A and B are shown apart, each in its own frame.
Chain A
Amino acid sequence: MAEKMLLIGGRSSKQGTALCAGKLGEEYLDVTSTVEMNAEDMARLGLQNESRVRVWTPGGEAVLRCKSRETKDLPPGMLFMAYGPLSSRLMTGDTAGSGMPLSKNLDVEIEPVRDGGLT
Chain B
Amino acid sequence: MSEDTVRVVSDATCTFCGCVCDDMVLTVDLQQHKITKSQNACVLGKAWFKEHSIEERPFALIGGREASTEEGIEAAAQILVNARFPIIYGLSDTTCEAQRVAVAIADMIGGNLDTTTSVCHGPSGIAFQGVGESTATLGEIKNRADLVIFWGGNPAEAHPRLFTRYAVTAKGMHVPQGRKDRTVVLVDVRRTASTPVADIFLQVKPRSDFEVLWALRALVKGKRVDPSIEQRTGISLAVLEDLVARMKSCQFGALLFGMGLTMNRGRHFNAGALLALATDLNEFTHFVAAPVRGHGNVTGADNVVSWQTGYPFGVNFSRGFPRFGPGEFTTVDVLSRGDADAAMIIASDPASNFPQPAIEHLKRIPVITLDPKTTITSQLAQVAFTTSTYGINTPGTVYRMDNVPITLRPAFESPYPGDEQILTGIRTRVHELLGGNRLPVDTSAASL
Binding site for B on A (CB under 8 A): 6, 8-13, 16-24, 59-60, 72-75, 78, 80, 83-85, 88-89, 91-105
Instruction: Provide the bound-state CA to CA distance between A104 and B259, in Å.
Output: 9
A24, A59, A103: the one within 8 Å of B376 (CB):
A24
Whether a CB of chain A sits under 8 angstroms from the CB of B352 is yes
Flag whether B333 is at the interface (Cβ < 8 A): yes
Q: Could you say which residues of chain A place their CB within 8 Å of the CB of B51? A: 20-22
Whether B327 pairs with A96 at a CB distance below 8 angstroms is yes
B268 to chain A: closest residue by CB: A98
Known contacts: A24-B376, A103-B263. The answer to whether A17 contacts B44 by CB under 8 A is yes
Flag if A99 contacts B264 (CB, 8 Å): no
How many residue pairs link A and B with beta carbons under 8 A? The number is 145
Query: Which residues of B lie under 8 Å from residue A100 when comparing CB positions?
Result: 118-119, 122-123, 262-263, 267, 330, 332
| Complex contact B157–A12 (CB within 8 A) | yes
- Chain B's interface: helix, strand, loop or mixed, by majority? helix
**Bound complex: CA A88 to CA B123 (Å):** 19
CA A76 to CA B98, docked complex, whole Å: 46
In the complex, which residue of chain B has the Cβ closest to the Cβ of A6?
B206
- In the bound complex, residues from chain A placing their C-beta under 8 Å from that of B356 are 59-60, 88-89, 91, 93
Q: Is the CB of A11 within 8 A of B189?
A: no
Looking at the complex, which one of A17, A88, A94, A102 makes contact with B352 (CB distance below 8 Å)? A88
Q: Which residues of chain B have C-beta atoms less than 8 A from A21's C-beta?
A: 47, 51
- Contacts known (A98-B123, A98-B327, A99-B327); A105 close to B44, Cβ less than 8 A: no
Residues of chain A lying within 8 A (CB to CB) of residue B331: 99
Quick one: which of B50, B328, B332 has the most chain A CB within 10 A?
B332
Within 153-205 of B, Cβ neighbours of A (below 8 Å) are at 154, 157-158, 160, 189-191, 193
Chain B residues, CB < 8 A from A13: 43-44, 157, 160, 193
Is B128's CB within 8 Å of the partner chain A?
Answer: no
A85 in complex: contacting residue of B16, B190, B376, CB < 8 Å:
B376
- Interchain CA distance A104-B189 in the complex, whole Å: 10
Q: Which of B119, B190, B265, B349 contacts A99 (CB 8 A)?
A: B119
Q: Give every chain A residue within 8 A of B44 (Cβ-Cβ).
A: 13, 16-17, 20
Closest residue on chain B to residue A78 by CB atoms: B190
Kindly state the separation between the CA atoms of A63 and B214 in the bound complex, as whole angstroms. Answer: 38
| Known A13-B43, A91-B355: A98·B190 in contact at CB below 8 Å | no
How many angstroms from the CA of A87 to the CA of B147 in the assembled complex? 34
Chain B's closest residue to A21 (CB) is B51
Cross-interface CB contact of A10 among B154, B335, B376, cutoff 8 Å: B154
Residue-wise interface mask of B (297-338) relative to A, using a CB-CB cutoff of 8 A (1 in contact, 0 not): 000000000000000011000000000001110111101100
Give 20 A-B contacts (CB < 8 Å), ordered by A residue: A11-B294, A13-B160, A16-B43, A17-B46, A18-B47, A19-B47, A59-B355, A88-B355, A92-B357, A93-B335, A93-B357, A94-B336, A95-B326, A95-B327, A95-B330, A98-B267, A99-B314, A100-B267, A101-B354, A103-B263
Q: Contact check: which of B119, B260, B327, B332 meets A104 at CB < 8 Å?
A: B260
Give chain B residues whose Cβ lies under 8 Å from the Cβ of A74.
190-191
Cβ-based interface call for B358 (8 A): yes
Task: Name the B residues within 8 Å of A75 (CB-CB).
Answer: 190
User: Which residue on chain A has the smallest CB distance to residue B49?
Assistant: A20
Q: In this complex, what residue of A is CB-closest to B330?
A: A99
Closest to A92 in B: B355
- Asked if B326 and A104 sit within 8 Å, CB to CB, the answer is no
Closest 3 CB pairs of A and B: A99-B330, A93-B336, A97-B327
- Name the CB-closest residue of B to A103: B263
**Least CB distance, B380 to chain A, in whole angstroms:** 13
Cα separation A102 to B355 with both chains bound (whole Å): 9
* Contact residue among A16, A72, A78, A101 (Cβ-Cβ distance under 8 Å from B47): A16
Bound-state Cα–Cα, A18 to B160, Å: 16
Q: Residue of A at shortest CB range from B203?
A: A75
Q: How far is the CA of A60 from the CA of B359 in the complex (A)?
A: 12
Q: Shortest Cβ distance from B435 into chain A, in angstroms?
A: 33
Interfacial chain B residues near A60, Cβ < 8 Å: 356
Residues of chain B with a CB closer than 8 A to A16's CB: 16, 43-44, 47, 157-158
Instruction: List the B side residues contacting A6 at CB < 8 Å.
Output: 206
A80 → chain B, closest Cβ, in Å? 7
Inter-chain CA distance A98–B160, complex, in Å, is 29
Residue B353 lies at the interface, judged by CB distance under 8 Å to chain A: yes
* Closest CB in chain B relative to A51 CB, distance in Å: 21
Flag if A96 contacts B158 (CB, 8 Å): no
Pick from B46, B313, B355, B376: contact of A23, CB below 8 A: B376
Quick one: closest A residue to B260, CB to CB?
A104
Besides A85-B352, A101-B119, 6 more A-B contacts (Cβ < 8 Å) are A17-B46, A20-B51, A22-B373, A78-B206, A95-B332, A98-B123
- Contacting pair A11 B158 (CB below 8 A): yes
Residue contact B376 to A96, C-beta cutoff 8 Å: no
A65 and B313 CA atoms in complex are apart in Å by 36
Q: Which residues of A contact B114 (CB under 8 A)?
A: 99
Given contacts A11-B157, A16-B157, A100-B262, are A105 and B47 in contact (CB under 8 A)?
no
